[in-house]
Amino acid sequence: MYILEKAPAKINLTLDVLYKRPDQFHEIAMVMTTVDLADRLEFFLLDKDRIEISSENRFVPNDERNLAYRAAKLLKERYHIKQGVRILIDKQIPVAAGLAGGSSDAAATLRGLNRLWKLHLPMETLAELGSEVGSDVSFCVYDSTALAEGRGELITELPAPPHCWVVLAKPVQGVSTQSVYQSLNLENLNHPDTEGMIEAIRSGDYYGVCDRLKNVLETVTLPKNPEVEQIKQQMLRSGADAVLMSGSGPTVFGLVQQESRADRIYNSLRGFCEEVYVVRLLGTHQTLD
């Protein structure tokens, strides 16, 4: 028996950091949604009581450094599962890109093993478990559009934003999320209009969404990585309606309504970076056929 799960990339429509908490995590508020760039995970029962991770991508670890491994281990230990599992990860989301690829894999693992091991856990329980694996995993469990608060584990689901095309561009140089947060100056931040973004989504106002894209982590990543700013400006010159860095970076995304304009932006970026994608915005859970 085996199970298939899709693990889509996420983008931040807003990312706000409010303050540093006593537990040293940052209190955040961010509106996130999903795009049609996804890893594909396959889950196979094993006779032996162990977790095996396999991927052709050399950047995907096969031990506890892998969030999917941690998610599987957490489920096994919490619910005393004696069956083993082999997890095949077809990696399509760039690594260390600000697109939550590892978190989405972990969330897909929770959903997939919930089915494979017939645990019948509700999504709310899977999301709670996800918060023990990583900050973005709870959001990724729902695989939709949501406001994430706390340190990312408090999820309020939202409708999908208006349909559009998304151009993603990832520079070669990676970014450390931890170092970005450590370098963030919490004084005098220009905070996103989170409530305005939520209202624009609820009312299906595409240009309202575009007008409210904002990510406070750009104040750290952009000065240290000028190529990120260059990509943003190139997208705008090529006709993107709005452009933002996702997460802590370095991936930048641009929103457009016309596929022809998305293709034009794609072609204009090929000289700037090798990893460029044109995808549709999803915003709701997608199942594999």
7 known member of a binding site:
no
Q: Is 279 annotated as a binding residue?
A: no
Spatial distance between the Cα atoms of 147 and 145, rounded to a whole number of angstroms? 7
The tokens describing 253, both together, are: 């995304």
**Is 249 labeled as ligand-binding?**
no
Phi, psi of 148 (to 5 degrees): -110, 130
Catalytic residue among 16, 39, 105, 136: 136
Say if residue 169 carries a ligand binding annotation. Answer: no
Kindly state the tokens that stand for 280.
């549709």
| 102 labelled binding-site residue | yes
What gap in Å lies between CA 250 and CA 256, rounded to an integer?
20
Q: Is 95 annotated as a binding residue?
A: yes
Q: Are 3 and 43 in contact (CB under 8 A)?
A: yes
As a whole number of angstroms, the distance between CA 107 and CA 144 comes to 12
* 98 annotated to bind ligand: yes
User: Is there a binding annotation on residue 103?
Assistant: yes
Contact between residue 62 and residue 114 where contact means Cβ atoms under 8 Å apart: no
Within 13 Å of residue 3, how many CA atoms lie on the same side as its CB? 20
- Helix (H) / strand (E) containing 11: strand 2-20
Would you say 97 is a known binding-site residue?
A: yes
Catalytic entry in 6, 10, 76, 232: 10
> Which residue type does 164 have?
C
82 part of the active site: no
10 annotated active-site: yes
104 assigned to a ligand binding site: yes
Q: Is 127 known as a binding-site position?
A: no
Burial environment of residue 230 by CB neighbours within 10 A (0 to 12, 13 to 18, 19 or more): middle
Find where tokens 């019948």 sit. 120
Binding site feature residues: 94-104
Residues with a known catalytic role:
10, 136
Binding residues for ATP: 94-104
